[in-house]
Amino acid sequence: MKAIRSILGQVIILTLGNSVALWALTDFGTGVKAGAAAVLSVLYIILLINAGGKRDSDKKLARIAKGAYLIDSAVCALVLETAVIIVFIIIGGMSVWRHIGSGLLAFGLITLTAIAGLVRLAGSARQIKLALYAALIFCWYIPVVNIIILKKISRAARKEFRFEQAKHELDDLRKENEVCKTRYPILMVHGIFSVTGRSSTTGAGSLRSLSETAQRYITAASSLLILSLSALPNSETGYWRSSGSQALKR
């Protein structure tokens, strides 16, 4: 599907760009030619807006993907247009001015496509160096050099797109695996209240057992109080108290 979309984009750019030459070389009526040119113009505008149909929940990633797509389309159209111009020269049948007009229109559309992609990348991509933009401005009309610079910009944009996309996927995975957070911690006390006493038939044994049991209960209650106070937040600092002794001092 991606390849078909790219081929259709190239057909629209090249056909509309060479409409001046095709107008002279085809035998269709004037109305048909004008209608075809209007349809191609609408399709070209849709191509600039849709830019390959890249959709992403993150608008920044969508702009980077569309910008890289338009630049790649401009590079491919630039190479193909050079071959088309050579073919038209070989075929002949047109005046020199029609050749010039057709070439200027085609390169104008290719330039507009590249500018639309660069505008999207300039506001979104951070890994593209300013020097590349400056070099492209001064070397746009130098054959081969302009293609190399455009490919470097496109490569940097796609690299940033893959990096940002992987980072978003990792963040989503972390959110799914994040444990539930509570404002106050849950105290799980185990074994505080377990009391093992020995039964005795004598009065002294019974009193000793009751005394030991009461002492264990007092110790258990004090421990629970200390743990509960240590779990409460400090109203002055906002941090949790580090020990029960600090809590009791307050």
Q: CA–CA separation, 71 vs 48, rounded Å?
A: 11
Give me the pLDDT at residue 39, please.
94
Q: For the whole prediction, is pTM greater than 0.85?
A: no
Between CA 240 and CA 233 the distance in angstroms is 5
Which pLDDT does position 27 carry in this prediction? 82
Q: What pLDDT shows up at residue 203?
A: 53
pLDDT tens across 187-217, in order? 555 544 444 444 444 455 556 666 677 667 6
Listed by start position, the domains of the chain span 2-177, 203-249
How many CB atoms neighbour CB 79 within 10 A?
12
Model confidence pLDDT, tens digit, residues 92-133: 778 888 888 888 999 999 999 999 999 888 878 888 888 888
> What confidence tier does 35 reach under pLDDT thresholds 50, 70, 90?
very high
The CA distances from residue 120 to 49, 93, 135, in Å, are 11, 40, 18
- Judged by DSSP in three states, 241 sits in coil
pLDDT value at residue 195: 44
Q: What is the arithmetic mean of pLDDT over 54-77?
A: 83
pLDDT, residue 185, reads 52
